[in-house]
Structure 1
Amino acid sequence: MWCLPCVEELPYIQEYANKNPNVEVILVSMDFPKDIETKLKPFLKKNNITTKVVLLDDPDANSWINKINPEWSGAIPFTIMFNNEKRFYYERSFDDLQDIEIEISKNFNK
């Protein structure tokens, strides 16, 4: 299922999405398609995750990692924050809601 650091930061990402309904937050699941109904959906429901979730089901990571960011090692969690002008990549987890808000403020509210 999901990596532990990914699971630990999900409540903060959901909290940010709840506080900022004007910001589109999308989670990317790398689960196997066969596990969507039996594992992914129950996990999201149990953890009250209501943000949009898309499935990345291409098992050939080498075909898409460099397209996302050539400097990305492929490690997760991996977060992309962007608007029409800027794009920032984070190859780490967020410790709490404030951690997310600090990064957004630092990079987008200048």
Structure 2
Amino acid sequence: MRYFRLIVLSVFFLSFSVKAQDLITFQNFDELNAYVQNNSEKPLVVNFWATWCAPCVKELPYFQKLHEENPNVKVVTVSLDFEKQVESKLKPFLKKKNYTFVTTYMADKKFNNWILKIDENWSGSIPATWIINENKGIFVEQEFASFEELNQFVNESLTKLN
């Protein structure tokens, strides 16, 4: 009986491991915010992007490298792709690239209802990155030109947030 419980618990916890092509979908900002609050064991680097945004796609490998090489942060990406393209474009893109950071999808397309909750100065343009540490955050609307630039920005932001 003890082994059965162990197997059941293992299957339960493994069911929550997420590959990049397995999307966590947020219906609204409150769900995204709850996810952020419940994942505070280390600072989060949250990148807002879409497959139709060339600068976003260009910098995603930098976020993958950050995920692999900076153990001080957890990388989470939030796709703002169109709902009708999630199955036809977003999921195939993620599967092909085999990214291992956490990938989420924001289903709420009423951007004006939630972007100002992330940062009051966010125009809504992407790519955009939100660094969060213990309920404090730094937000920037910009494309990172290299992994080094991204990593430096993240590390400097964490210093400011501490």
- TM interval, shorter chain, is 0.7 to 0.9
- Which protein has the larger Cα radius of gyration, Structure 1 or Structure 2? 2
| Superposition TM-score, scaled by structure 2 size | 0.62
How far is 1:48 from its partner?
A: 2.6
1:50 & 1:30 partners in 2: Cα distance? 18
Secondary structure at the aligned position of 2:78 is classed as strand
2:134 to 66, 84, 96: 84
Q: 1:52 — aligned with what?
A: 102
Structure 2 residue aligned with 1:30: 80
Instruction: Tell me the amino acid that sits aligned with residue 8 of structure 1.
Output: K
One-letter amino acid of the structure 1 residue matched with residue 58 of structure 2: E
- Residue identity over aligned pairs, in percent, reads 44
CA distance 1:85–1:58, change in 2 (3 Å): closer
What's the TM-score, normalizing by structure 1? 0.88
Task: Specify every segment of 5 or more residues in structure 1 that has no aligned partner in the other structure, as ranges.
Answer: none
Contact between 1:9 and 1:96, CA under 8 Å: does it hold in 2?
A: yes
- 8 Å Cα contact 1:80-1:89 kept in structure 2: yes
- What corresponds to 2:113 in structure 1? 63
Aligned to 2:92: 42
Specify the code of the residue in structure 1 equivalent to 2:89: K
In structure 2, runs of 5+ residues without a counterpart are 1-50
Task: Give the CA deviation at 1:37.
Answer: 2.5
